[in-house]
Amino acid sequence: MENRPQWGTRAGFILAAVGSAVGLGNIWRFPAVAYENGGGAFFLPYLFALLTAGIPLLILEFTLGHKYKGSAPLSIARLSKKSEWLGWWQLAISFVISTYYAVIIAWAFSYSKFSLSLAWGKEPGDFLFGDFLHLAEKPGQIGGVVPGVFIPLVLVWIVTLGVLFKGVKKGIELANKVMIPTLVVLFLIIVVRALTLDGAAQGLDAFFKPDWSKIASPKVWVAAYGQIFFSLSIGFAIMITYSSYLPKKTDLTNSAFITGFANSGFELLAGIGVFSALGFMAAQQGVPVSEVVSAGVGLAFVVFPQIINEFPAFNEFFGVAFFLCLSLAGLTSLISIVETYIAGVQDKFKVSRNKAVAFGGGISALLSILFATNGGLYFLDAADNFINQFGIVVAGFVEVVLVAWVVKELKNLQAHANSVSDVRLGSWWRICLSIITPIVLGYMMIQNFITNIKENYGGYPTGFVISSGWLVAAGALVVGILFMLFKWDKNALTVPSEQEKEVS
C-alpha cells in the first residue's frame, strides 16, 4: 500500500481548497462581470451555476482524488487507462498558468512597497506601463529583463517553493492556515473603510441594482457559468490533487459545499469593497459610476492606486493592505497550481518530493522570466486568454464527458461520495454533470472558438496571436499526450482500496 501524505485536519484541507479557489479573479474579475451582466439580477444565474455546475464539479473532483488516491494523471489513469492523457493535459495547463501567475503576484509585491510612498504619483497608468513595466512598443518584442519585476518574482518563487518543499501538512496546510485568515481580516478592514467613504452608496447601488432585462440573454448565463468555473479551480487538476491527500473517512460532499460557498462569499465581499471604492472615485471626479468601472490589471494597478490617492486619510496603509491582499490571494492559488505537477511527477517517475519541487518548480520559475521582460505583459495577456478559454474550458468539458458518458462512472463515484459523506447525493448530481454542465461548457467552448477565429484577441497581430496564444494552448495538449507515453511502475495503476483487499 502506498505511503501518500495526508492533510493534518479536514479544516486544513478546506482552507487549502478555499485558498486555491480564492485568487486574483475573485477580486478583480467578479465585480465587473456581475455589474456588466445585470447587477443584482446576475446573482440568480450565478447561484444557479454554483449549484448545477460549480459544486457538482467540486464533488466530482474531490471524489476522483479521494477514491483513486493519486495526482490527476494517476487518478484518471486508474479510472480509465486510455484517458491518462487528460490528467497530463490538465497538469500542462497548470504549468503554463503558474509561469505567468507568479509575475502578477510579483507586481502586487512591488505595489505593496510602492504604497508606502504612493510612488505611482498622479498618473498610475503611466507609472504602470512606463516607469514600472517599461512596456515594449509592440507585441512580440521581448526586450530585456525588467529588474523591478524580476527581483520580486524571485521572492515569489522562493516563498512558493519554500512552502512546497515542506510538504502537504507542514507546508501547504500551515501556509493556508496563516495566509487565508490574514487575507480575510485585511480585506474586511478595506471593505469596512470603503463602505464609509463618500459615494460608497452610489457604488453599491450600481453593483446591486438589478437589470432583469438581461436575464433572458444567454450571454449572461454563460458569464455566470464561466465565473463559477474559472473561480473554483476546477478543470485543471488542483482539486483532484488536493483531495488525494484526504484520509479514508472524509465528508466529501459537505467539504465541496463549504468550499463553493466560501469562495462565492469572498467574491460577494470583493464586489461590495470594489464598488464602494469605485463609487467614492466617481463622486470625487463628479462622474457616473459606469465611467470608472474596470476589471483585471487595469482595476488592480491603475484604478485602485487612483482611489488610494484620493483616500481622506491613511492612504499608505490601505494601499499596502490592498496589495498584500492581492499577494496573499495569488500565493495561495499559485501554491496549489504548482502542487498539481509536482504530485504528477512524483507519482509517475517515483522521485522524491524535493526533486519534484526542484525540477517542476525550477523549470516554471525559469520560464516565468519571459513575463518579466519588456514585452512580458503582451505575452501574459495572450497566454492567459488562450490557456483559459482553450485549456481549462475544453479540458473541463472533456473531463465531465469522459466520466459521465465514456466510462460511465458517475454512479460508482456517487456511491463512493455517499459512503463517506453525511449529505447524500441524489440523481440531481448525475443530471447536472451528465447534461447541464456538458451543454454549458460545450456552448462556451464553441462560442470561444467562433469569437477568436472571427477576430484576433485583443487586436493583436495574427502572428503574435498564433505563437503566444493558439500554440500555447495546443502545446499543453501535445505535452499531455507525450507524457502518457512514459510507462508506470508495476502495480501503479492498481487502486489503493484493491491493494488493501489483497493484503487482507
Q: What amino acid occupies position 133?
A: L
Residue 115, in any domain of the structure? no
Helices and strands in the chain, H and E counts: 27, 0
- Which distant-in-sequence residues (6+ apart) come within 8 Å of 247 by Cβ? 6, 7
Domain that holds residue 279: 10-98+170-300+380-503
What is the structure's pLDDT at 176? 97
Cell of 83: 484517458
What average pLDDT does the segment 124-153 reach? 96
pLDDT band for 127, please (50, 70, 90 cuts).
very high
Rounded to whole angstroms, the Cα distance separating 430 from 428 reads 6
Residue 33 corresponds to which cell in the numbers above? 462581470
- Return the pLDDT at 442: 95
The whole-number average pLDDT for the span 73-88 is: 96
Single-letter residue type at 176: N
Predicted pLDDT at 2: 55
Residue 3 lies in a domain: no
Q: What is the pLDDT of residue 500?
A: 47
DSSP letter string over 177-223? HHHHHHHHHHHHHHHHHHHTSTTHHHHHHHHH---GGGGG-HHHHHH
Task: Spell out the residues 6+ positions from residue 134 whose beta carbon is closer than 8 angstroms to its own.
Answer: 143, 146, 374
DSSP state of 370: G
Q: What is the mean pLDDT of the chain?
A: 94
pLDDT for residue 39: 94
The answer to whether residue 342 is domain-embedded is no
Residue 502 pLDDT greater than 80, yes or no = no
In angstroms, the CA 424 to CA 418 distance is 5
Q: What pLDDT score does 3 carry? A: 75
pLDDT at residue 491 in the model: 87
Is residue 370 predicted with pLDDT exceeding 50?
A: yes
pLDDT tens for residues 243-255? 999 999 999 999 9
pLDDT band at 462 (very low <50, low <70, confident <90, very high): very high
- Separation between Cα atoms, residue 466 and residue 92, nearest integer Å: 18
| Average pLDDT, integer, range 152-156 | 98
3-class SS of residue 373: strand
What percentage of residues in the chain have a pLDDT greater than 90? Answer: 92
Residue 148 in any domain: the answer is no
**Total structural domains in the chain?**
1
- Residue 443: per-residue pLDDT: 94
Amino acid symbol at 8: G
Res 87: pLDDT: 97
Residue 198 lies in a domain: yes
* 427-452 residue pLDDT tens: 999 999 999 999 999 999 999 999 99
pLDDT greater at residue 504 or residue 271:
271
Q: Which three cell numbers stand for residue 71?
A: 495526482
Residue 310 lies in a domain: no
**How many angstroms separate the CA atoms of 262 and 254, rounded?**
12
Q: What does the block give as the cell for 388? A: 483559459
Residue 365 lies in a domain: no
pLDDT, mean of residues 90-119: 97
Kindly list the distances between the CA atom of residue 343 and the CA atoms of 88, 125, 299, in Å, as whole numbers in the listed order: 11, 40, 34
The answer to whether 196 touches 400, Cβ cutoff 8 Å, is no
Q: Are 21 and 336 in contact (CB under 8 A)?
A: no
Tens digit of pLDDT for each residue in 263-283? 999 999 999 999 999 999 999
Q: Give the CA distances from residue 366 to residues 153, 334, 371, in Å, rounded to whole numbers and listed in that order.
A: 10, 15, 10
Q: Please check the confidence at residue 501 and state whether its pLDDT lies above 50.
A: no
Q: Provide the percentage of residues in the chain whose pLDDT is more than 70.
A: 98
307: closest CA among 142, 194, 459?
194
Q: Is residue 127 situated within a structural domain?
A: no
DSSP of 298-325: HIIIIIHHHHHHH-SS-HHHHHHHHHHH
* pLDDT at 292 > cutoff 70: yes
Judge whether 429 and 423 are in contact, CB under 8 Å. Answer: no
pLDDT at 496: 78
The continuous run of DSSP H or E covering 281 comes out as helix 252-285
How does residue 124 score in pLDDT terms, banded at 50, 70 and 90? very high
CB 222 within 8 A of CB 47: no
The burial class, CB within 10 Å (0-12 / 13-18 / 19+), for 456 is: middle
Which of the four pLDDT bands, split at 50, 70 and 90, describes residue 497?
low
Closest listed residue to residue 181, CA positions, set 316, 378, 54, 325: 325
pLDDT given at position 56: 97
